[in-house]
Structure 1
Amino acid sequence: MAQNPSASRGSALVTGAGGALGRAIALRLGADGFAVGVLGREGDLLRETAQLLADAGVHHHVLPADLRDPAAIDAALTETESELGPLEALVNNAAIYPATPFLDISQDEYEDVVRVNQTAYFLAAQGAAKRMAPRKSGAIVNIGSITFHGGWANLASYVSTKGASVGLTRALARELGAHGIRVNGVSPGAFPTKAEEIHENPEEYNRFVIDRQSIKRRGADAELAAVVSFLVGADAAFVTGQTINVDGGWVME
């Protein structure tokens, strides 16, 4: 999995890189030849991702940041290019998902989810596009969720922001294509990540997921990362404005 320096493809920035899916995406893009900026809340998880990239020989840079802060987003983009070279790919992956019944969600909680899951995606994509447009090259991937297609109890804030990521993907693809920038989305199904801690009975939830999937096993993080890899790569040069469900055949629309 060591990177071949002669095959360098510029830099990629992955937000939420301390989480399981963000980590898998960062490792895959590093293996693909990108220098990788890993952005997330400072802590052991982000450091573990950085260590795995180092072990794989991937040129990388750690960017501890709070996505609630617009200045931190712009600084991370600038630092990525300064440390790793021209930004060729952005993966908006970071998200928060407080599990609260709709009737109990406070305005403060809702607005916090919007800041991380929606506003940060907008600002990061805008900042990335401003850097990509002069070069007429770049790819942006917004990570959504299949919960947008069917709703999900106690996650109204999360589901609504993930729906917004689909709309943002389509709007940006329409507008940025003329600048040589492709914008796509990936909607994960129920991958076995830390997010499942919001469910009281893990075994029951596991059965619930597999019953609804066409493929009767849980997905692996690397399988999601592979789709992101495709979307930022040359094989997807004529693909934009699409959101691909990676969910074992749960949602078909």
Structure 2
Amino acid sequence: MAGDGVLHQRVAVVTGAGGALGRATALRLGADGFALGVLGRKGAELEETAAQLEALSVPTRILDVDLREADAIEIAITSTNEEFGPIEALVNNAAIYPSTPFLDIPLSEYDDVVAVNQRAYFYAAQVAARGMVARRSGAIVNVGSITWHGGWSNLASYVSTKGAAVSLTRALARELGESGVRVNAVSPGAFPTKAEAIQGDAAEYGAHVLAHQALKRRGTDAELAAVISFLVGPDASFVTGQTINVDGGWIME
């Protein structure tokens, strides 16, 4: 649903909004009162996110963006700002996760993963933070993964970029804090999304997950979205530079 040109009180941008976790985040922020710029490759999944937001009467701008392209990121964030008003929250969520043994990963595959999972986070944060710093207010959440804690086989490219997301979070929190901008990360555990297809047998992997979690059930997309909602909201006004594991107690540190 296109915006109506009216400035709204709160504005958020969510990347990778066509995926399950990105969609849940967009829906939660919409329910929280944000107008949304939803970024991703345009297709059925992103259209479904937009349709669900429209059903909730959430002002939404659909942005078909190849996150490997810096110019496209800047245009998307700038146009959201122009249509809805200053961006208060950015959620860097988009990620790709090819499963390839380390010795067989071609540099082209690695470069794509870094471009989407790492460089796009950096640049989207940079573009959004310029306005936040000028207003001395704003919140950024980078979506990591518990895989960076212990490593996962055949996912070296993905794991390394998720560790970078946490490192970026800490660096930006330190540097932007004096301007009132908060930066945090969430590290999801093994949520039952389509990404699990790379793990092989679904039942076997599900049992593996529950064996490692303290909570013996699978998490829901809405539960991750609730933590992101907290981090960009007023109740987290004194929280920055943190990484919250949302994983049912798989990783404890």
Alpha-carbon distance in structure 2 between the residues aligned to 1:202 and 1:9? 43
User: How high is the TM-score relative to the length of structure 1?
Assistant: 0.96
Give the structure 2 partner of residue 13 of structure 1: 13
1:154 pairs with 2:154? yes
5+ unaligned residues in a row in structure 1: which ranges? 1-7
How far the C-alpha of 1:76 sits from its partner, in A, is 0.6
Alpha-carbon distance in structure 2 between the residues aligned to 1:209 and 1:9? 40
Letter in 1 for 2:138: G
Alpha-carbon distance in structure 1 between the residues aligned to 2:54 and 2:114? 33
Mapping of residues 61-140 of structure 1, within 5 Å: 61-140=61-140
Alpha-carbon distance in structure 1 between the residues aligned to 2:71 and 2:130? 15
5+ unaligned residues in a row in structure 2: which ranges? 1-7
SS in structure 1 at match of 2:66: coil
SS in structure 1 at match of 2:88: strand
SS in structure 1 at match of 2:167: helix
How far the C-alpha of 1:244 sits from its partner, in A, is 0.2
State the Cα RMSD in Å.
0.6
SS in structure 1 at match of 2:207: helix
How far the C-alpha of 1:84 sits from its partner, in A, is 1.6
Deviates more, 1:166-175 or 1:126-135: 126-135
Runs of 4 or more, structure 1, over 3 Å off, are none
Q: Give per-residue Cα distances to partners, 1:206-225, cap 9 Å, x unaligned.
A: 00000100000000000000
1:193 pairs with 2:160? no
Letter in 1 for 2:115: R
Q: Contact between 1:60 and 1:84, CA under 8 Å: does it hold in 2?
A: no
SS in structure 2 at match of 1:216: coil
Give the structure 2 partner of residue 38 of structure 1: 38
Q: Give per-residue Cα distances to partners, 1:151-174, cap 9 Å, x unaligned.
A: 000000000000000000000000
Give the structure 2 partner of residue 243 of structure 1: 243
Give the structure 2 partner of residue 4 of structure 1: none
Alpha-carbon distance in structure 2 between the residues aligned to 1:82 and 1:61? 11
Alpha-carbon distance in structure 1 between the residues aligned to 2:182 and 2:204? 39
Give the structure 2 partner of residue 164 of structure 1: 164
> Identity of paired residues, percent?
69
Q: Give per-residue Cα distances to partners, 1:202-249, cap 9 Å, x unaligned.
A: 110000000100000000000000000000000000000000000000
How far the C-alpha of 1:13 sits from its partner, in A, is 0.1
User: How high is the TM-score relative to the length of structure 2?
Assistant: 0.96
Give the structure 1 partner of residue 23 of structure 2: 23
Q: Contact between 1:9 and 1:88, CA under 8 Å: does it hold in 2?
A: no
SS in structure 2 at match of 1:12: strand
How far the C-alpha of 1:179 sits from its partner, in A, is 1.1
SS in structure 1 at match of 2:14: strand
Q: How many residues align?
A: 246
Alpha-carbon distance in structure 1 between the residues aligned to 2:143 and 2:60? 21
